[in-house]
Amino acid sequence: MCTGNTCRSSMAEEIFNLKARSLSVNYKIKAKSAGVFAIDGFSASSNAQEVVRKYGGDLADHKAKTLTKDLVDQGDLILTMTEDHKQFILNNLMTNNNSRVHLIKEYANKVDRDVFSSKEVTDPVGGTLEQYEEVYHELDTAIEVIINYLVDNIR
């Protein structure tokens, strides 16, 4: 989850689902993304689309979605980009089981200690292609750690 669902969370969803589809497991794990202040129907940013395409993904059909209580209730694990996103969800959209909500990099650090020195993912919106690449690689690293943990621990 992020702010507008056009950069970070859309990239994270595509990275996660590409990795999940490549796994040989007997169950399905899938990511969905949304933004706490998204405008429904907006496309992923052109830089996000370009970076994801470079690594074999596709955001051409991505449409931003506003995060709702229903989406939160459906999630087994809710990963956010910033502490503000986490607090928004906890304060406005959660009624129980708050332990499902984590910052993505913080969760990766819990699984594999000290992967990241910072706990938030910087918003690249309006930034350079290189900034989007940096965010992509942060997300890719975090998701690799998390998805391996999930596969090893879901039975």
- CATH assignment at residue 45: 3.40.50.2300
Average model confidence (pLDDT) across the chain: 94
**pLDDT tens figures, 95-112:** 777 899 999 999 999 998
* pLDDT at 20 > cutoff 80: yes
Of the candidates 94, 90, 32, the residue with the CA atom closest to the CA atom of residue 64:
32
**pLDDT tens figures, 27-63:** 678 999 999 999 999 999 999 999 999 999 999 999 9
How many Å apart are CA 38 and CA 62, to the nearest integer? 13
Model pTM score: 0.94
Domain count for the chain: 1
Q: What is the model's pLDDT at position 152?
A: 86
2 inside domain:
no
Of the candidates 72, 77, 126, the residue with the CA atom closest to the CA atom of residue 102:
77
Q: Which domain holds residue 72?
A: 8-153
3 inside domain:
no
Q: What is the model's pLDDT at position 25?
A: 67
- What beta strand segments (E) does the chain contain? 78-80, 101-103
C-alpha separations of 106 from 7, 52, 79, 118 in Å: 19, 23, 9, 8
